[in-house]
């Protein structure tokens, strides 16, 4: 990855070329990887999650009028929109909808915004399950927060960004991505409680590195599969709530309760619910195992998580099977599983620190031999949550 100073110089030069002069402030928001807890967030469950050192920056300068001009260095496109008269979606430059959506939600909440000229630059890979969308939303909200003195705390900021994604962009995601990007802490994993919107932090054992293994495969179906999984979970929870006092979501359900009520569900709903209930418990168990470097426990929990994702939640595609096979027999691996929403994209491994180069070599070669696809394998650090960037 390019050094920070080179990145700053590149953004600064592009800003000058685009708008003239220098940015007045810089913000950053990280991508994320989930270490355990697939699809538990919209079931008000737990996730073990980590902000990564792949970030989205916005370099900006306030304007005197109510115009937002926003441009992406990566995509070489941009657009201007007014903060007045109802913010509309853009069909021509769809990525600006993340910024538009955040502006609209903030204004609908009564926050007074001001315009800016902004340049976006990101090192979060796009469409690969590391939350590049959330990083852009959270960066935009962080910018408005600083520029307009909104005084939003990270949790409120994350909730409003999630609302922008749900209501403006039209993706019915949970809180995981935005929360991690907004509230992360350098060097730590977050044990996130998605019902109470709180978290605890835990250091990662110094021997263990978190390694992203990108299948570089994206299935178009994801668009419909995600809301379908969510609807199945909600149907399961509603059926249980009707007969069990105190049940609101799958978070409140034990495996015993689920099994006792099995006849209420169709087979798919039962399998989805079973996975979520087990995955929630694995989140709590892995948090302890990771900081203690309990290797057998890490291996067992990650293997169970992947098996459940494949057999119960059905979010595994053949490329992920090939990747997990490559990861499991690579040097230094302690555990490996899916990440993000599934259906391709990135996966995650826990690897002995000194073995990371050999691990990467093995995974790349084995995955390419099996699929013909060139993957990307790289270690990530736990990065700080979103905030102002100190640029000299
Ligand atoms: C996507 C969504 C998140 C979460 C994960 C699966 O990243 O945006 O809210 O549901 O999938 O855990």
Tell me, what's the pLDDT at 220? 61
Give the distance (Å) from ligand 1 centre to CA of residue 79: 28
Q: Are strands 116-122 and 67-72 parallel, antiparallel or unpaired?
A: parallel
Question: 314-332, pLDDT tens digit by residue?
Answer: 999 999 999 999 999 999 9
Q: Which of 341, 345, 348 to mutate to test the pocket of ligand 1 (most atoms within 8 A of CB)?
A: 341
Q: Which of 81-95, 214-228, 309-323, 370-384 has the lowest mean pLDDT?
A: 214-228
C-beta separation of 341 from 315 below 8 A: yes
* Annotated catalytic residue, options 34, 41, 117, 177: 177
The CATH homologous superfamily for domain 208-380 is: GHMP kinase, C-terminal domain (3.30.70.890)
Instruction: Kindly state if the Cβ of 340 falls inside 6 Å of ligand 1.
Output: yes
Tell me, what's the pLDDT at 1? 55
How many degrees, rounded to 5, is the angle at CA 345 between CA 387 and CA 383? 25
Instruction: Kindly state if the Cβ of 343 falls inside 6 Å of ligand 1.
Output: no
Question: 134-149, pLDDT tens digit by residue?
Answer: 999 999 999 999 999 9
Tell me, what's the pLDDT at 223? 78
Residue 221 in this model has a pLDDT that exceeds 80: no
In ligand 1, which atom is closest to the CA atom of 175? 9
Among protein residues, the one with the nearest Cα to ligand 1's atom 10 is 39
The reply to whether 4-202+384-388 and 208-380 are identical in fold is: no
Per the annotation, the verdict on 53 as an active-site residue is no
pLDDT, mean of residues 270-281: 98
Distance CA(271)–CA(148), nearest Å, equals: 47
Instruction: Kindly state if the Cβ of 35 falls inside 6 Å of ligand 1.
Output: no
CATH architecture of 4-202+384-388: 2-Layer Sandwich (3.30)
Residue 296 to residues 3, 185, 282, 301, 379, Cα–Cα distance (Å): 37, 27, 14, 9, 22
Domain ranges of the chain: 4-202+384-388, 208-380
Question: 353-375, pLDDT tens digit by residue?
Answer: 999 999 999 999 999 999 999 99
Residue 5 in this model has a pLDDT that exceeds 70: yes
Tell me, what's the pLDDT at 125? 95
Quote the pTM value. Answer: 0.97
Mean pLDDT across the chain: 96
Give the distance (Å) from ligand 1 centre to CA of residue 176: 6
Question: 112-123, pLDDT tens digit by residue?
Answer: 999 999 999 999
pLDDT, mean of residues 363-391: 97
In ligand 1, which atom is closest to the CA atom of 174? 9
Give the distance (Å) from ligand 1 centre to CA of residue 9: 34
């Amino acid at each position: 990855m390019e050094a920070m100073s080179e990145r700053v110089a590149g953004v600064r030069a592009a800003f000058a070329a685009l708008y003239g002069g220098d940015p007045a402030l810089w913000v950053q928001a990280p991508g994320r990887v989930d270490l355990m807890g697939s699809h538990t967030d919209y079931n008000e469950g737990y996730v073990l999650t980590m902000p990564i050192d792949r970030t989205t920056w916005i370099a900006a300068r306030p304007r005197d009028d109510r115009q937002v001009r926003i441009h992406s260095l990566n995509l070489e496109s941009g657009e201007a929109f007014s903060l007045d008269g109802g913010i509309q979606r853009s069909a021509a430059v769809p990525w600006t909808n993340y910024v538009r959506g955040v502006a609209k939600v903030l204004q609908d909440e009564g926050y007074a915004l001001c315009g800016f000229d902004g340049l976006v630059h990101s090192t979060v890979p796009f469409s690969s399950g590391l939350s590049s969308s959330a990083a852009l939303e959270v960066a935009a909200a962080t910018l408005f927060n600083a520029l307009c003195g909104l005084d939003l705390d990270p949790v409120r900021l994350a909730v409003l960004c999630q609302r922008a994604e749900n209501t403006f962009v039209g993706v019915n995601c949970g809180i995981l991505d935005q929360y991690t990007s907004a509230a992360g802490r350098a060097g730590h994993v977050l044990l996130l409680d998605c019902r109470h919107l709180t978290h605890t932090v835990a250091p990662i054992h110094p021997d263990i590195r978190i390694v992203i293994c990108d299948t570089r495969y994206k299935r178009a179906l994801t668009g419909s599969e995600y809301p379908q999984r969510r609807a199945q979970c909600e149907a399961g929870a509603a059926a249980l709530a009707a007969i069990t006092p105190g049940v609101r979501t799958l978070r409140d359900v034990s495996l015993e309760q689920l099994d006792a009520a099995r006849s209420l569900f169709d087979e798919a709903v039962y399998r989805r619910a079973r996975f979520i209930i087990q995955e929630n418990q694995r989140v709590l168990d892995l948090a302890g195992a990771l900081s203690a470097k309990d290797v057998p426990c890490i291996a067992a929990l990650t293997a169970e998580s992947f098996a459940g994702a494949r057999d119960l939640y059905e979010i595994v595609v053949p490329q992920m099977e090939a990747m997990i096979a490559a990861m499991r027999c690579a040097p230094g691996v302690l555990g490996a599983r899916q990440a993000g929403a599934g259906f391709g994209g990135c996966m995650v491994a826990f690897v002995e620190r000194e073995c990371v180069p050999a691990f990467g070599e093995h995974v790349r070669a084995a995955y390419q031999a099996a699929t013909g696809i060139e993957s990307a394998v790289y270690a990530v650090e736990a990065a700080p949550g979103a905030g102002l960037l100190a640029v000299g």
